[in-house]
Amino acid sequence: MKNGILVPKFCPSIFSHASAVGKKEHAGPLGSLFDFHDETDRFGQETWEQSESEMQHVALNLALTKAGLSSSGIDAVFAGDLINQCTGSSFGLLDVPSPYFGLYGACSTSAEALILATLYLNATGASTVAAVTSSHNCTAERQFRFPVEYAALRTPTSQWTVTGAAAFLLGDGPGAYITSLLPGRIVDRGVTDANNMGAAMAPAAFDTLSRYFSLSGSSPSDFDGIFTGDLGYEGHAILTDSLSSSGFPTSNFFDCGLLIYDREKQDAHAGGSGCGCSACVLSSFLLPKLERGEFHDILFVATGALMSRKSLLQGNSIPGIAHLIRITKERNL
């Protein structure tokens, strides 16, 4: 730890990664960058939940194929999704003969998995650890709001849950490097509108980023880009306004929920959300830019709304979380 920031002794590389998405995601601005897509969103399965599990299976196997590995070469896997008890992950990764850690960080799960995978590598001396996450629009709507068959009206502040999964293999070798970590704290500002998750998550993103700049002595302008995970239009505006009011420049701030869809042409309202959103943007767009040298130093800040349908029905507000990872092209800064 350095000044409150976790600096791993061994900075692992993300030496292989892959993404699998649905029809809407493939039709978006990043469509050609994803490794696999299914025009039916079914991935050959009968139910939406089975489809999400298959997405994770596909993404992980694509990442393994790229690395020339089999699932037996994974020392541990950290995975999560939005379905009750993370069954999307547990069923999707049934054939992985490795220790399995099921995670729930809502839309921040990708960063949570990468943080824990990095710490596991440092603590155990393992050689290869996988971080996997997913979301599916139809499973998330059924879980948190209404089944899509109800054709419920969406408010302007609502976000479209991404149908997508991404898998990352961490260890030693070429690739972008995870060089510092700042786990998030739970922040609750009393937002109760489940159709405005950006407003619920933005305070957590502000808390994590302002802490990071204070603890590290760095400025946003020191990085090629700062990429939050699915705050969407509303949350991104709240975050950048809050940071600007605190004296931080925000010209290089971007949000994965705004990158994955064309909001107007694709009727995505406030943008994308879901565990698969920031994970798929990281795999398809950000990591390749680091590998090619177009980026050298970025902050990846995945955000999550820590709610359940029951907590909302009981009148509870929506706590937020934001986990930060610094990813660089070079291991030694």
Q: Rounded CA gap, 186 and 250, in Å?
A: 23
Handedness of CA 96, 322, 144, 284 (dihedral sign): negative
Instruction: Say whether 199 sits in a helix, a strand or coil.
Output: helix
Element (H, E) at 302: strand 297-305
Helices (H), the chain: 23-26, 48-67, 87-92, 109-124, 137-144, 197-216, 232-245, 256-259, 275-281, 287-292, 309-313
Strand partners, 16: 169
CB 328 within 8 A of CB 297: yes
Q: Rounded CA gap, 307 and 204, in Å?
A: 14
Whether this model's pTM surpasses 0.85: yes
Q: What is the pLDDT of residue 149?
A: 54
pLDDT one-digit tens code per residue, 243-281 = 999 999 999 999 999 999 999 899 888 899 999 999 999
Mean pLDDT of 283-312: 95
Q: Is the pLDDT of residue 150 over 50?
A: no
Q: Any idea which architecture 180-328 has in CATH?
A: 3-Layer(aba) Sandwich (3.40)
Angle between helices 232-245 and 197-216 (to 10 degrees): 40
Q: Which has the minimum average pLDDT: 142-151, 191-200, 261-270?
A: 142-151
pLDDT one-digit tens code per residue, 312-322 = 889 899 999 99
Q: Residue 93, by phi and psi: left (phi above 0), alpha (psi -120 to 50) or beta?
A: alpha
List, by residue range, all CATH 3.40.47.40 domains of the chain: 13-171, 180-328
Q: Any idea which architecture 13-171 has in CATH?
A: 3-Layer(aba) Sandwich (3.40)
Can you read off the two tokens belonging to residue 200? 């619920």
